[in-house]
Amino acid sequence: MQSAITTSKLIKMKEDGEKITALTAYDYLFAQMVDQAGIEMILVGDSLGMVVQGKATTLPVTMDESIYHTEIVARACKYAMVIGDMPFMSYQGSIDEALKNAGRFLKEAGASAVKLEGGVAVANVIEKLVKTGIPVQAHIGLTPQSVHQMGGFKVQRDEDRLLEDAKRIEDAGAFSVVLEGIPSDISKKITAQLQIPTIGIGAGLECDGQILVLPDMLGVNYKKVPKFVKKYADLYTDITKGLSQYSKEVKEGTFPSKEYEYK
């Protein structure tokens, strides 16, 4: 199903100076809430590996896992553009492999676009996907799939390289770019130089839009979150409180009381 948000609508929002909202989601329940809140983009991020599967990095996430989660998110969404995140080694090997894997997100999972990490190095892949009719969101700066090459999840400060990556991505036909872990003065310059929207995460206020990892911003995660995450709810506390109360009432024999019984 075509969602209400299209690539041309997003580019128009940038032209009009209207900020773009984006969040990740991985399942039907949360995707439905995010969609109904009017968030414009839902990324089924490979952060899946860390926040849902409990792994140390995003690297082990597979194509089949990403397709599974993207399909259930897409089924929940009527408004938001759903973007499938291409896992590590699903697009770096060859253009043919990238095309085949990107196509699965649109064909099998119902996504409207894909995201992949990298700048100059993946510009030829972006160009091929876009020419084939697959909208691509790029992702530069702190690219978690390169965690080992970066020596950790580190803020990226090479301004010349970031600007070159951003320009090449735009020239290749990407419809937007995620800027992750970049000082705000550099994000401001990139945003000013591009026609396509920049979506920031840990990249300051000057981007055209913002994205956060949903369990982090809802406080579902009890682990330490990065400095750029603002917690808009404290679901970990609310949920664990509810679970303890349930356990207490079952053990003391007060649940189910009369009102929860059939006659």
Q: Give catalytic residue positions.
A: 180
CB-wise, 127 or 180, nearer to ligand KIV?
180
Q: Cα angle at 111 between 229 and 11, to 5 degrees? A: 70
- How far is CA 32 from its chain centroid? 15
Q: Is 24 an interacting residue with respect to ligand KIV (CB under 6 A)? A: yes
Q: Is 47 an interacting residue with respect to ligand KIV (CB under 6 A)? A: yes
HSE (CB half, 13 Å, CA atoms) of 154?
A: 10
**Whole-number minimum distance, CB 51 to ligand KIV, in Å?**
8
Kind plus residue range of the DSSP H or E element containing 77: none
Q: Is 85 an interacting residue with respect to ligand KIV (CB under 6 A)? A: yes
- Candidate ranges 43-51, 62-70, 76-84, 92-100; the one touching ligand KIV (CB under 6 A): 43-51
CB-wise, 46 or 170, nearer to ligand KIV?
46
Of 178, 179, 182, 196, the one binding ligand KIV (CB under 6 A) is: 178
Label residues 216-249 b or e (16+ Cβ within 10 Å = b): bbbbbbeeebeebbeeeeeebeeeeeeeeeeeee
On whether the CB atoms of residues 201 and 214 are closer than 8 A, the answer is no
Site for ligand KIV in 196-255 (CB under 6 A): 201, 211, 213
> 10 Å Cβ neighbour count for 149?
7
**Whole-number minimum distance, CB 105 to ligand KIV, in Å?**
14
Q: Is 46 an interacting residue with respect to ligand KIV (CB under 6 A)? A: yes
- Bridge-partner residues for 154, per DSSP? none
Closest residue to bound ligand KIV by CB: 45
Q: How many residues does the chain have?
A: 263
Residues of this chain that bind ligand KIV (CB under 6 A): 24, 43, 45-47, 85, 139, 178, 180, 201, 211, 213
